[in-house]
Chains A and B, each alone.
Chain A
Amino acid sequence: MSGSTEDIKAVTCTIKPPVYLQIGDTKTDAAHSGICVVDVTLPFGKPANIEEITFKNYYTAYVTVRLLRRGPGQEAPAKWCTALRDLPLMDNPHTEGGSQDYYSIHRTQMQVEPDHVVSVRLILRQPSSAWLTFSLEEIKMYPHTEPDSEKEVSDWLSDLTLVDQHPDLEGLPDPQTVSSSIQQMWALTEVMQTNQTTASIGRFDVDGCYDINLLSLT
């Protein structure tokens, strides 16, 4: 889950400078390029299994992800495949929506398994002539880790089991029901204690003084 990516460190990789593709002679053609290729190579000899790719957009309209995967064996040749084609990053290539947003591409969104990946190629497209340039920033790749099989500690409710005993009662309430209701109360108070609120009270002063002479933004 992406919630845990803060703990997982990104894979160190080399991001090559973006290459803007042009038709015809690059020197005389003044039109803006609409396609850009960014190659991201992983350290040599250490192919990775990718969990997630995150980046910050800068006016790219669509992104295609291609992966160079090398089979487990040393002799197996590396092959390129398309993991994701033309993922829209901007609702409308001519307007601002999504132009500077943060995005994640998770392995479940990819059409092929991103395992044993040697290199990633991001193909960026921006068909609109409205923008001077476009690219992706802060590209990071997170490795795939095996899922944890920890049990939910807080799921104490489903762990409760009834002990089958029928003691001899003489007009007294059933000890089972009494003890279980007390147990529930105790457990609830425990839960309450662990969930301390961080909500502020909403009052403010500094040592009872509130004489303000200057406002600043820094």
Chain B
Amino acid sequence: MMDESTELSLTIAQIVQRLKGSHLHSQIERQAKECLHQPDIKLESLKEDVRSFLKTSGWERKLQNAVYRELHLPPSHPAAPPEHLKEPLAYMRKAQASWEKRVLKSLNSMSTELGVPLARMRPAVEQKELTNKWNEMGTDEPDLSRFRPVYAPKDFLEVLISLRNPNHDSSEDISARSHWGLIQVPLNVRDIPQLRQAYSELNLTTGQLGIDDHAHVHPGIHKKFKYALSYQDSAAAQQYSRQGCPTGLRAELWALILNSTNQPPDVMHYEQLKAGVIQHDLLVDNLIYKDVKLTASNDDYYFVFEDFLYQVLLCFSRDTAVLEHFKYNSATPPKSYIQGKVGEEECAVVYPPNVAPLCFLYNEPSKLYSVFREMYIRYFFRLHSISSSPSGIVSLCLQFERLLQTHLPQLFYHLRQIGAQPLRIAFKWMVRAFSGYLSTDQLLLLWDRILGYDSLEVVAVLAAAVFAFRAENLMEVTSLASAEAVLADLSTLKVMPLIQIFLFATAI
């Protein structure tokens, strides 16, 4: 650990570096220049006067929000190489690299097999057609039978299960620390007593939106959210959303917490990406089409958003700004070869989780896109890459298994005996942050807490809570298939009571 003040000044220097050249920076400078015309700005107290002007006009708040957002990125030691910032543990970096190679090989061979180039320029006729059809891509019925998914969640789970620390002494087979689960990596995960402290706003005596307001609406609760919105206070909005967001204000609150603005540069960025989609056809586009067709169009809730989904996902796969997050994502974007020259491929070879739930909140494509992208680069990317982060999928899996083994040992033991390792059932929920398994209003309440606590931990807690809820039925099953059947339908679950009871009513 560095000396605290050195660490602080290093962090400050890094944040200043990142904010320099941003749109906000030029806006504030412009404001500072323009305010010089004002009579109350005096030469002798220039610095203080300009500062207080920026404060009262709300620009300081905007800067605070931007800094608050930058603080989410981990600080780095000056001697640490860039790959260390992505992931400090060498064996995890290695595992991520070989996983990527595998996926890439699959993509390359699909391209060769099908004779479809990974990317090509669209002919003018096709471009025109797509422009006209932009808002109704869902009506298209292209032949996608030849395209198969590049990988399934099951494959990824196998990779996670095989993760081993070469310096870990696993010679002791029977020890006090014996772990019944599949994940064999000694990451630090929190247990219920620590979770109770960290998630104190979820305790049984604190009102939660979505549960405690069914009978009557408290105007008081909405007041604090309105306050946060009118003052554009990102940190306050995040704090309040720990108890859930009111449905009517959720869209604005999430945008504020994620500091995702819908300024002209953002709309322009979206239009640029849209132009990119029209100009070039990527192989991954077909995979996205297929994925959306299979999931959203058959879903009772999401089929209405099919067109939106295409628009957002196709743009997302071309967004170079997403490349920024690869600095702290253990994954590396693949490079592409264009006519012998090397360039950076914009397409992320992993699938972003479902955009569909966000469609309920935002009806403007550029706004929807902006929020979705911000959620992805802050949280959801951690579900698809191998890292030691406490919000990473490896930690979530381990936390789920530990919670289950510690607090429901009989159930865990029984499921293990019948060949139904709990993680094999829960993995598909966690890797999509429960999207597609819960009803939408419940899912949004869960995602409120992900934003509020700035962590995906609550996803692992919910997975354990679901098992606890259905424990009685699960104790009676005698095969993996029947265990899957018991846990197949989660659409009637109410997430917050489950989480509250699991965290605060479990006997320790």
By a beta-carbon cutoff of 8 Å, the part of chain A in contact with chain B is 1-3, 5-6, 32, 54, 56, 58-59, 87-89, 91-92, 94-97, 99-104, 106, 108-109, 129-133, 138, 140, 157-158, 160, 162, 177, 180-181, 184-185, 188, 192, 195-200, 202-204, 206, 209-218
Q: A211 near B338 (CB under 8 angstroms)?
A: yes
Chain A hits for B169, CB < 8 A: 32, 129-132
- Partner among A130, A158, A160, A215 whose Cβ is within 8 Å of the Cβ of B335: A215
Q: How far is the CA of A211 from the CA of B118 in the complex (A)?
A: 8
Q: How far is the CA of A196 from the CA of B117 in the complex (A)?
A: 39
How far is the CB of B61 from the nearest CB of chain A, in Å? 22
Chain A hits for B118, CB < 8 A: 212-215
Q: Which of B73-81, B232-240, B422-430, B477-485 contacts A (4 or more CB under 8 A)?
A: B73-81
> Which of B77, B108, B341 is the most central at the interface, judged by chain A CB atoms within 10 Å of its CB?
B77
**Cβ of B346 < 8 Å from any Cβ of A?**
yes
How far is the CB of A102 from the nearest CB of chain B, in Å? 4
Given A92-B188, A204-B346, CB of A210 within 8 Å of CB of B2: no
Q: A96 near B188 (CB under 8 angstroms)?
A: yes
Q: B32 near A188 (CB under 8 angstroms)?
A: yes
How far is the CB of B459 from the nearest CB of chain A, in Å? 20
Could you tell me which residues of chain B, from 293 to 322, have a CB within 8 Å of some CB in chain A?
319-321
Chain A hits for B346, CB < 8 A: 204
- Partner among B272, B339, B388 whose Cβ is within 8 Å of the Cβ of A203: B272
How far is the CB of B479 from the nearest CB of chain A, in Å? 35
By a beta-carbon cutoff of 8 Å, the part of chain B in contact with chain A is 1-3, 6, 9-10, 13, 20-22, 25-26, 29, 32-33, 36, 43-44, 46-47, 77-80, 84, 88-90, 97, 100-101, 104, 107-108, 111, 117-121, 165, 167-169, 172, 177, 185-188, 269, 272, 276, 279-280, 319-321, 332, 334-339, 341, 343-346, 349, 388
Chain A hits for B279, CB < 8 A: 210
How far is the CB of B33 from the nearest CB of chain A, in Å? 6
Chain B hits for A202, CB < 8 A: 269, 272, 319-321
14 contacts between A and B (CB under 8 A): A102-B77, A103-B2, A106-B6, A138-B79, A140-B79, A181-B43, A184-B46, A185-B36, A197-B26, A203-B276, A215-B336, A216-B334, A216-B336, A217-B334
Given A2-B6, A132-B168, A217-B104, CB of A211 within 8 Å of CB of B121: yes
- Partner among B20, B107, B168, B321 whose Cβ is within 8 Å of the Cβ of A131: B168
Q: A3 near B9 (CB under 8 angstroms)?
A: yes
Q: A199 near B10 (CB under 8 angstroms)?
A: no
